[in-house]
Amino acid sequence: MNKNIIKSLSTVFCIGTYILSYTANAAPFEVLHWWTEPGELQSKQVLVDHLKIKNIEFEDFAIVGGGGDGAIHVLQMRALSGTPPEAAQIKGPDITEWDKLSMLVSIDKLVDTRAWTNFLPEVVINDVSVDNKYMGVPINIHRVNWLWLNTKIFKRFGLAAPTTWKQFFTVADFIQAKGIKPLSMGGTPWQDALLFESIAISVLGPDNYIKAFVYFDNSVINSAAMVEAFKLFKRLHRYTSIAQQGQDWFWASQSFINDQAAMFFMGDWVKGSWTAAGKEALKDYRCVPAPGTEEVFSYNIDSFVLFKKVNTDVEQTNQKVFVNTLISPEFQIDFSKAKGSIPARQNVDLSSFDACSKQSAYDFDHKIKVPSFTQNMATSSHQQGQIIQLISDYFNSESLSAEEAVQQLDVMVKALTSK
Ligand code: BGC
């Protein structure tokens, strides 16, 4: 055969393969997630749109509730009844737990992942891998240990950003004396625990934080430093009276951004909701690390797992397209800009990102990285759920002392880790 014909046939073949690998069959692709607040909805729409271009019809399986506790329970029921969705937002050690049930699709077997090590940071690779195999697709990185400052209120009183807890209390007392709420706070246990997490990082230091909340080391859990962390945590309770039982983070974020409160502790997904409302970094809010945690980056990586289904060609093609879309730089950039995070991929152009995301990217590269235990990064959700409840009960109790709470934590952790 003529060389040119062979060449053009192989070009046609290559283009055909390319189209095949990037074009799915429009069967609905059900995805479980808990992105239900305005900023999260915009980010989810980015995902829907990117999949649509590749002919994937996103079927929404959204479960309301920040932090994802409700979503995980619904997913368990669906999986038990033999009808899991195609994909679910599962993160951290939970990926291993689901994998043990042999329900997950191995990403390595589905697509060529060999190049992923070139652009994913080690901490991200470890987070989504089980026994050195990719079982999840990472899409972004959130920083959890942020303190948000309301620009208008801080400017009005000429206040500097607190970098220590001592400064934090001085600023909070000053603002309270002016009749303004110092701290906005939601009313669900994981939000209480998120605040505690930053305090624990600052009081224990990153190494001991990891020993306590990743390895459940009782010498750190049952320590004077842990009691100190609980006591400091409780001192913040007096600033949080607008919290209502069950109030989700979105409503707390609204009172902050609408100038009714001066400060707010939350992961940077909150920035997505402010971006959706037309608010801007620096102009309307500032981001600083929680006091005493400037050398630490507490991370939360969003990722998706795929469930084994009937395994038809159509389904496999859709799964491949889903994974390849989620890992692409185009999607990760668009998604993170809406979500308030930074892409899981490194070396992407962040010039169009806001100042807080740029700082987050810099700090991710330069600071000590610790997994956020309140965001499923340190332990599986059943262990995490009980610890979070205890922390929240202590925060809201008028009688439980810090020493008692630490003792209860010690007993709880021993029970959680005994076989
Ligand atoms: C998730 C974020 C989400 C946040 C609030 C976190 O656990 O990782 O993607 O925006 O919960 O719902």
Question: pLDDT for 300-321, tens place per residue?
Answer: 999 999 999 877 777 789 999 9
Percent of the chain with pLDDT over 90: 84
pLDDT of residue 116: 98
**Confidence at residue 3, expressed as pLDDT on a 0 to 100 scale:** 40
Query: Which of the listed residues 269, 302, 339 should we mutate to test ligand 1's pocket, taking the one with most ligand atoms within 8 A of CB?
Result: 269
> For residue 240, is pLDDT > 60?
yes
User: What fold does the segment set 146-298+373-417 form as a domain?
Assistant: D-Maltodextrin-Binding Protein; domain 2 (3.40.190)
Ligand 1 pocket mutation pick from 142, 265, 270, 376 by most atoms within 8 angstroms of CB: 142
In this structure, the residue with its CA closest to atom 10 of ligand 1 is 269
Note the pLDDT of residue 9. 35
| Cβ of 40 less than 6 Å from ligand 1 | yes
Q: Whose CA is nearest to atom 1 of ligand 1?
A: 67
pLDDT of residue 27: 76
Question: What is the reported pLDDT for 341?
Answer: 98
Query: What tokens appear for 134 in the block?
Result: 């990719």
* Fold held by 3-140+302-364: D-Maltodextrin-Binding Protein; domain 2 (3.40.190)
Q: Which of 314, 312, 318, 308 is nearest to 106 (CA)?
A: 308
Give 160's contacts (C-beta < 8 A, 6+ positions apart). 167
Is the pLDDT at 24 greater than 70, yes or no?
no
Ligand 1 centroid–CA 8 distance in Å is: 48
Residue 35 CA to ligand 1 centre (angstroms): 7
Assign 268 a pLDDT band (cuts: 50, 70, 90): very high
Provide the phi-psi class of 156: left if phi over 0, else alpha when psi is between -120 and 50, else beta.
alpha
Q: Is the pLDDT of residue 21 over 60?
A: no
DSSP β-bridge partners for residue 16: none
Span from the CA of 49 to the centroid of ligand 1 (angstroms): 20
Please state the atom number of ligand 1 nearest to the C-alpha of residue 91.
8
- Nearest residue (by CA) to ligand 1, atom 12, is 66
Taking 50 as the threshold, does the pLDDT of residue 122 lie above it?
yes
Question: Counting atoms of ligand 1 from 1, which one is nearest the CA of 40?
Answer: 10
pLDDT score recorded for residue 5 = 36
Output b/e per residue, 329-352; b: 16+ Cβ within 10 A: eebbbbbbbbbbbbbbbeebebee
Query: Which one is predicted more confidently, 80 or 327?
Result: 327
Per-residue pLDDT averaged across 199-227, rounded?
98
| Any ligand 1 atom below 6 A from CB of 66 | yes
Instruction: For residue 280, count other CB atoms closer than 10 A to its CB.
Output: 12
Alpha-carbon span 90 to 103, nearest angstrom: 13
How far apart CA 324 and CA 330 sit, in angstroms, is: 11
Distance CA 232, CA 211 (A): 20
Residue nearest to atom 8 of ligand 1 (CA): 302
Instruction: State residue 66's pLDDT score.
Output: 75
pLDDT value at 26 more than 80: no
pLDDT, one tens digit per residue, over 289-300 is 999 999 999 999
For residue range 391-403, list pLDDT tens digits in order.
Answer: 999 999 999 999 9
Residue with the bigger pLDDT between 384 and 65: it is 384
Distance of CA 290 to the CA centre of its chain: 17
- Write the CA distances from 385 to 87, 152, 200, integer angstroms: 23, 36, 17
Q: How confident is the model at residue 145 (pLDDT cuts 50, 70, 90)?
A: very high
Cα-based distances in Å from 295 to 124, 176, 194? 19, 29, 18
CA distance 265 to 290: 8
pLDDT at 322 over 80: yes
pLDDT of residue 124: 98
Q: What is the pLDDT confidence band of residue 23, given thresholds at 50, 70 and 90?
A: low
Q: For ligand 1, atom 2, which residue shows the shortest CA distance?
A: 269
The pLDDT tens digits for 37-74 are 999 999 999 999 999 999 999 999 999 887 787 898 89
**Using CA positions, which residue lies closest to atom 9 of ligand 1?**
302
Sequence-distant (6+) residues with CB within 8 A of 102 are 308
* Arithmetic mean of pLDDT over the chain: 92
More confident of the two residues 247 and 12: 247
d(CA 384, CA 223): 20
| CB neighbours of residue 79 within 10 Å | 16
Average pLDDT (207-215) is: 98
Structural domain spans, the chain? 3-140+302-364, 146-298+373-417
CB 394: neighbour CB atoms within 10 A? Answer: 22
pLDDT digits (tens, 9 = 90+) for 344-372: 999 999 999 999 999 999 999 999 999 99
In short, whether 39's Cβ falls inside 6 Å of ligand 1 is no
Q: What's the 237 CA to ligand 1 centre distance in angstroms?
A: 24
pTM: 0.93
Strands 133-134 and 342-343: unpaired
Provide mean pLDDT across the span 191-214.
Answer: 98
